[in-house]
Chain A
Amino acid sequence: MSAGLCASCGSDPAPGASFCWLCGYPLGAGAAPVARIAQASPAAGIGWVVAFVVALFVLSGVGLELAFLWPGLLIPYAAALVPVLVVMTRILYVQRFDFWEGSKSGPAAAASSGAALAPAQPASGATREAPDGSSDVVAKVVTTVAVGMAGTAIAIGLLMLLAVAAFVFLVAICFAAILVLGH
């Protein structure tokens, strides 16, 4: 059993928490361990990466449709989407879900890197099947594809916002020039 996981459900607790976020079991010394819920974790947690990729596809498709319907709406759309994508990409990139934290150190880092993609795949440290590597490769490939797609989407969104900013800037300069020259 890896240190730092909830003694009751095996999930990866938040740093410094005194109760398990999932099952409410008190963490730390003094808590008598109950029968641990052992379970195999099918598809060790790449489902949510797939969900993210599909969501990205839908949102890109919607962006294409918006370009046909009302191109003007692409701007607020990009502005709303970019922060969400940045958060998701950060989560995918650092392989941790408390993405706002800096780099972790100590045993917590070791524990969470083991259960990185699966904070709530209980007992992931204890009952994980013998590492055959194939599911790890799949998870890595899917994650890399997701990061790449999200990065591209963010780049497109930022370029679009930059173009708008440049346009506004140009208009402002023209306006100022007209005002100055008009005098």
Chain B
Amino acid sequence: MTVAPPSAWHVVERVWSYRGEERANLMRILAIACFYAIELVNRHGLNLGFIEFPPVEGVDERFHAAVTALAVAWVASALGVLIMMRSRRFPTTLKYITTTVDVVLLTSILLIADGPRSPLVITYFIILAAAPLRFSAGLVRYTALATIVGYVVLVGDAWLRRPETRVPRYQQLMTILALALAGLALVYLMKMLREAAEAYAARREAP
């Protein structure tokens, strides 16, 4: 039986996780740009003639200032990752750090926004979807857990501090379940990817 030696897999994993981290960072910056543009439209309103976006009630100056500060922190961290990776610094822990920063900053934004009621909650799924780009089942598991913890923090905050942002219990359970199942599917994807690569290598070596 011939399988690819682990060192070969290690090299592949490192190379592809580098490219994945790069792509995830690009996605991160683009996403912040788009979501901040939406926030600006909510704040100031936008009238294009054929379509109009009125300013959203409740987007006051304090909220806008806090979102602006968090967007700056997020872009700055993405630029930091960009500079770090481009100067050949790519520790294996980087993917865990960037994911943690993403979850913490998203949870912070949601804590000052509408909490579990906010449509931004779906962004947890975007963070989860970007995890497999780093070619690591461990990271996918970690991300699923981290996003669930982030959501539970929101639910707890709504329960203790801001009853107006509460959502029904079934909605909480469905969101947590969906995050867990999406994470499970992605962990399987990671495992199958590796098995497929090894099977392919074995087939190529076979006479």
What DSSP secondary structure best describes chain B's contact surface?
helix
A37 — which chain B residues lie within 8 A by C-beta?
Answer: 11-12, 15
B29 touching A51 by the CB < 8 A rule? Answer: yes
Binary contact readout A34-69 vs B (1 if CB under 8 angstroms, 0 otherwise): 110101000000011011101101110110011001
A122 touching B15 by the CB < 8 A rule? Answer: yes
How far does the alpha carbon of A54 sit from the alpha carbon of B22 in the complex, in Å?
14
Name which residue of chain B comes closest to A42, CB basis: B19
B29 touching A9 by the CB < 8 A rule? Answer: no
B8 touching A34 by the CB < 8 A rule? Answer: yes
A97 touching B72 by the CB < 8 A rule? Answer: no
Known: A48-B82, A119-B88, A122-B15. A54 touches B30 (CB 8 A): yes
> By the criterion of a CB under 8 Å from any partner CB, how many residues of chain A are at the interface?
42
Smallest CB separation, A7 vs chain B (Å): 11
B72 touching A59 by the CB < 8 A rule? Answer: yes
Smallest CB separation, A113 vs chain B (Å): 16
Smallest CB separation, A99 vs chain B (Å): 7
A62 touching B71 by the CB < 8 A rule? Answer: yes
A48-B86, A70-B65 provided; 14 other pairs, C-beta below 8 A?
A: A9-B11, A11-B15, A50-B26, A51-B25, A52-B79, A55-B29, A58-B32, A59-B72, A69-B61, A69-B64, A69-B68, A88-B79, A97-B88, A120-B18
